């Protein structure tokens, strides 16, 4: 062996410890399918983004919650204007106090619950509706208490907008009637922009003396020149506002038509009753167009809406004729609000094929 071929023991150990260099052939094979997998993942992600699975409803609409609320408020400006015209500037003060109290209460309750306050118009609508179903001369502190109860108890105590069982404005009105019955049932004759209020009976009261000419009575009821709550006296103003809501698709005809039609039919066949008077007097028109049609507290199916409207009309007539109170609109709508979940349950459209599937599973 030559000197060049000889190696020391240290060199041999070093040679053994040194890692062998891998040849390109011996190197780990690179996954050729990696680009294909990445492409498939990106395509799957694109499909997932395109078809996101989220909670219903999936239909897109120009109408958002706030737009719907403010459109209803805009429609209520017609009954509000009639109230100011017939009952003076104090009617405007009642509306302002109710709205400010409702909005402030919702803000305070949201802060206490740790929830964000969103000015979606629902509190404004509740305050305005409450004001329009109150007497023209009700003390402002009672108006504020009614608005606070409507928002804090009837609405927010149940979870807020979309979770309340009863119409908040009607709940506030019922609370005020339970606490101060005399004040909430004392009405005044139209006084214009003067401060000289003259107490009068509601057209539905036993002490109400109708004019000798029924045509004059119907005309006064149509225009609003008669005693009553702020927003319920002028049928003309209510029809204009309700017609706008129907025209833009905010409400459907099912509840208003069945409600008013039931009242008219029952009083037509009831001895001694005037159907036209019962439809135009009191709060039937305002309740049918603006309160019974509330999205949250009324049924969602067409069949359910018809049942709801018939029930409201039936209870209204029973309270008016057989009950101890002259007006039954408030309690009729609140009662049907309580029955709305039951109505929805039994009028909901059945899923196609669900019956056959249940039958097959029970037979198997």
Residue 213 lies in a domain: yes
Q: Check residue 227 and give its pLDDT.
A: 84
Query: If you average pLDDT over every residue of the chain, what do you get?
Result: 82
What is the per-residue pLDDT across 133-188, written as a single tens digit (0 to 9) for each? 999 989 999 999 999 999 999 999 998 888 999 999 999 999 999 999 888 888 87
Residue 281 lies in a domain: yes
What is the per-residue pLDDT across 61-119, written as a single tens digit (0 to 9) for each? 667 888 999 999 999 999 999 999 999 889 999 999 999 999 999 999 999 998 998 89
Copy the structure tokens of residue 234. 């002028």
Q: What percent of the chain has pLDDT over 70?
A: 73
Q: Check residue 360 and give its pLDDT.
A: 60
Q: What is the DSSP string of 138-188?
A: --HHHHHHHHHHIIIIIIGGGTSTTT-SS-HHHHHHHHHHHH-HHHHT-EE
Contact (Cβ atoms closer than 8 angstroms) between residue 267 and residue 278: yes
Q: Check residue 209 and give its pLDDT.
A: 47
Residue 37 lies in a domain: no
* Cα distance between the two ends of the chain: 91
Residue 152 lies in a domain: yes
**Per-residue confidence band for 269, with pLDDT thresholds at 50, 70 and 90:** very high
Q: Check residue 24 and give its pLDDT.
A: 46
What is the per-residue pLDDT across 319-340, written as a single tens digit (0 to 9) for each? 988 887 778 899 999 999 999 9
**Predicted TM-score (pTM) of this structure:** 0.78
Distance CA 221, CA 318 (A): 22
Distance CA 79, CA 243 (A): 13
Residue 361 lies in a domain: no
Residue 116 lies in a domain: yes
Domains identified in the chain, total number: 1
Measured at the CA of 215, the angle between CA 214 and CA 221, to 5 degrees, comes to 90
Distance CA 119, CA 316 (A): 34
CATH code of 238's domain? 1.10.3430
What is the per-residue pLDDT across 217-258, written as a single tens digit (0 to 9) for each? 889 899 988 888 999 999 999 999 999 999 999 999 999 999
Name the one residue in this structure whose structure tokens are 């214009």.
192
Q: Which domain range does residue 268 map to?
A: 65-347
Residue 240 lies in a domain: yes
Mean pLDDT of 268-277: 90
Q: Is the pLDDT of residue 276 over 80?
A: yes
Residue 231 lies in a domain: yes
């Amino acid at each position: 062996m030559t000197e060049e071929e000889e190696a020391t023991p240290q060199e041999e150990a070093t040679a053994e410890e040194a890692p062998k260099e891998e040849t390109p052939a011996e190197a780990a094979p690179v996954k050729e399918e990696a680009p294909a997998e990445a492409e498939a993942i990106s395509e799957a992600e694109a499909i997932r983004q395109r078809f996101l699975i989220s909670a219903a409803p999936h239909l897109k609409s120009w109408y958002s919650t706030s737009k719907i609320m403010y459109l209803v408020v805009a429609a209520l400006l017609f009954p509000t204007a009639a109230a100011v015209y017939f009952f003076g500037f104090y009617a405007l003060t009642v509306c302002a106090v109710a709205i400010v109290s409702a909005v402030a209460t919702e803000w305070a309750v949201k802060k206490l619950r740790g929830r964000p306050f969103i000015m979606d118009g629902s509190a404004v609508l509740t305050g305005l509706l409450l004001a329009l179903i109150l007497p023209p001369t009700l003390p402002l502190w009672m108006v504020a208490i009614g608005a606070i109860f409507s928002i804090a108890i009837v609405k927010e105590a149940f979870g807020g907008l979309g979770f309340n069982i009863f119409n908040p404005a009607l709940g506030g009105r019922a609370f005020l009637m339970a606490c101060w019955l005399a004040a909430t049932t004392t009405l005044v004759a139209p006084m214009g922009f003067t401060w000289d209020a003259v107490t009068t009976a509601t057209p539905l009261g036993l002490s109400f003396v109708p004019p000798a000419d029924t045509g004059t009575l119907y005309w006064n009821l149509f225009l609003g020149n008669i005693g009553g709550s702020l927003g319920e006296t002028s049928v003309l103003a209510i029809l204009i506002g309700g017609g706008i809501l129907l025209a833009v698709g905010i409400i459907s005809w099912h509840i208003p038509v069945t409600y008013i039609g039931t009242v008219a039919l029952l009083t037509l066949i009831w001895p001694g009753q005037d159907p036209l008077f019962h439809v135009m007097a009191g709060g039937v028109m305002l309740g049918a167009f603006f309160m019974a049609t509330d999205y949250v507290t009324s049924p969602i199916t067409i069949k359910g809406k018809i049942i709801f409207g018939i029930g409201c009309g039936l209870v209204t007539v029973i309270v008016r004729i057989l009950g101890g109170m002259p007006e039954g609109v408030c309690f009729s709508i609140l009662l049907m609000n309580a029955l709305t979940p039951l109505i929805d349950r039994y009028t909901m459209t059945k899923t196609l094929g669900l019956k056959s599937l249940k039958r097959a599973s029970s037979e198997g």
